[in-house]
Amino acid sequence: MAGEVFDYMMDRLRTYYQEGVGGTKAPVDVFEAVHARRPVSALDFHRRLCAVLEFTSLPAAASLAAANKRVANILRQAGVTETRLPDAEWMAEKEEQELNAALEALRSDVDPLLEQRDYKAAMERLASLREPVDAFFDEVMVMTEDPAQKANRLALLSQMRELFLHTADLSRLQG
């Protein structure tokens, strides 16, 4: 019963945001990105949606949305279903070390923002990952022959995905 009520409410909200009722108009992909996280209240949904709308206007948005799609596909194809911590000792490439350092530094900034449900500020901070994420994908082969190194790189990507997934599933954005 609760699931049916939630689904009904989401159908109404989808129309509400598509038509721009109340001054907030959102494309379907933004709505779906937030809906994928199944926020528990309409207010929380609205905060997330507004944060994602603002995020999509940032220069880093298209690149990070594409990276999130790529990460989601890599993790799905590799069968990764749980988040693990990467081991810095297994990071041979400078770009994976830099991405790991950027994620660790951001987590201490972003986690409190997410706890306070300040999704906009959290998304703005996450946008700073554009350069290390782009460099990682330009220079690092995730699916390497070395099983330990591959598992560690997948763990690094799962950490990044988890951080982005808190607010919305950016892999659903059309970019």
Which range of residues forms the domain containing residue 33?
2-172
In sequence order, the 6+-apart residues with CB closer than 8 A to the CB of 34 are 45, 48, 49, 52, 167, 168
Task: Indicate yes or no: pTM above 0.95.
Answer: no
Is the pLDDT at 18 greater than 80? The verdict is: yes
Give the Cα separation of 152 and 146 in Å (integer). Answer: 10
User: Tens digit of pLDDT for each residue in 77-110?
Assistant: 999 988 889 999 989 999 999 999 999 999 999 9
pLDDT value of residue 83: 84
Q: What is the mean pLDDT of residues 147-168?
A: 94
Is the pLDDT at 23 greater than 90? The verdict is: no
- Looking at the chain, the number of H-run helices and the number of E-run strands are 8, 0
* Of 1, 9, 2, residue with least CA distance to 45: 9
Per the structure, the count of domains in the chain is 1
